[in-house]
Amino acid sequence: MPELEIVLTVNGRAVRWHLEPGETLLEALHAHHLKGTKLICGTGDCCGCGVMLNGNSINACCMLAAQAEDGDLLTVEGLAQNGKLHPIQEAFAQEGAAQCGYCTPGFIMRAYAFLQEHPHPDEAEVRAALAGNICRCTGYVKPVAAVLRAAELMQEQ
């Protein structure tokens, strides 16, 4: 089968990926051992596979990897710097917002995109921003609190 080769930046490092035809961005991440981005529904209905591509929040399960060519990709693995948690990650840990944790990377990446544009959100805005992210453990109380807390932590920095 014809193999496709693309170049892109993943979490700040230039990489060269060999792709199968039809390979989704999520499959390509997993094939390259970046498994923090989760496969939960595979149909774009839960936002569990949220990543940032060229500054936009997208679902990696619904995009072909080839479309990420020359792109700048940020995944949950790229948030912590030198072992220090990103304020959003720190807030999720502080608030007990992760229970089983499977939806957590998707929530954190969605919050990352949201807080870039809304650094001082109120609760209703946070709830609206996370409306597409499915969590089955928390009832959303602590994830919403964590995003509000993250906004505070990011202001303090």
Partner 1 sequence: MDNEYYEPGGGNIADAGHQYARQIGRTRVVGQKERRVDARPLVTGAPVYAAEYEQPNMLHARILHSPHAHANILHIDTSKANALPGVRAVLTHEDLPRVAHSTAGQPYPETSPYDAYLLDRRVRYVGDWVAFVAADTPAIAEEALSMIAVEYEVLPAVFDPLEAMREGAPQLHDPDTTHPISGQHFGDIYDAAHNLAAHEEIHHGDFAATMREADIVVEGEYRVPFISHAVLEPHVCVAYLDGYDRLIVVSSTQVPYHTRRQLAAVLQLPISRIRVVKPRVGGGFGSKQEMVLEPVAAALALNTRQPVRIEYSRQEEFTAGRFRHPMIIRMRSGVKRDGTLLALSMHSIGNAGAYGTHSFTVTRSTGHKTLCLYRAKAYAFRADAAYTNLPITGAMRGYGAPQGFFALESHIDEIAHRLNMDPLEFRRKNHVQKGDWDPMEMVEEDGVWRSKRQFRSCGLPQCLERGSAAFGWGKPFDRGDGKPFRRGRGMATAMQGSGVASFELGGASIKLNEDGSFNVMTGATDIGQGSDTILAQIAAEALGVDMGKIIMHSVDTDSSVFDYGSYASSTTYISGGGVKVAADRVRKQVLDVAGDLLDCSPEDMSIVDSVIYTPRGPSHLTVADIASETLYGKHRQQIMAKGDFWTDDSPAPFFAQFVEVEVDTETGRVRVTRAVNALDLGKAINPTLASGQVEGAVAMALGYALSEEVKFDEQGRVRNAGFADYKVMSTLDMPEMTTILIEDTEYSGPFGAKSAGEVPTNGMAPAVANAIQDALGVRIRSLPITPEKILQALDEL
User: Which residue spans within 11-84 are E strands per DSSP?
Assistant: 13-19, 50-53, 56-59, 72-74
Tell which one of 10, 24, 38, 60 touches partner 1 (CB under 8 A). 38
Judged by CB under 8 A, the chain residues 117 through 146 that form the site for partner 1 are 126-128, 130-145
Residue pair 6/23 in contact by the 8 Å Cβ criterion: no
**Alpha-carbon distance 140 to 153, whole Å?**
20
Name the minimum Å distance from CB 105 to partner 1: 5
Tell which one of 92, 112, 113, 115 touches partner 1 (CB under 8 A). 92
For partner 1 (CB under 8 A), the number of binding residues is 55
Judged by CB under 8 A, the chain residues 49 through 88 that form the site for partner 1 are 75-77, 79-80, 85
**Alpha-carbon distance 99 to 42, whole Å?**
22
96 binds partner 1 (CB under 8 A): yes
Name the minimum Å distance from CB 120 to partner 1: 17
In Å, how far are 24, 62, 88 from 10, measured between CA atoms?
Answer: 15, 18, 20
In Å, how far are 14, 18, 106, 129, 136 from 132, measured between CA atoms?
Answer: 31, 31, 10, 8, 13
35 binds partner 1 (CB under 8 A): yes
For binding to partner 1 (CB under 8 A), which residues are involved?
20, 33, 35-43, 45-46, 48, 75-77, 79-80, 85, 89-90, 92-96, 98-105, 108, 126-128, 130-145
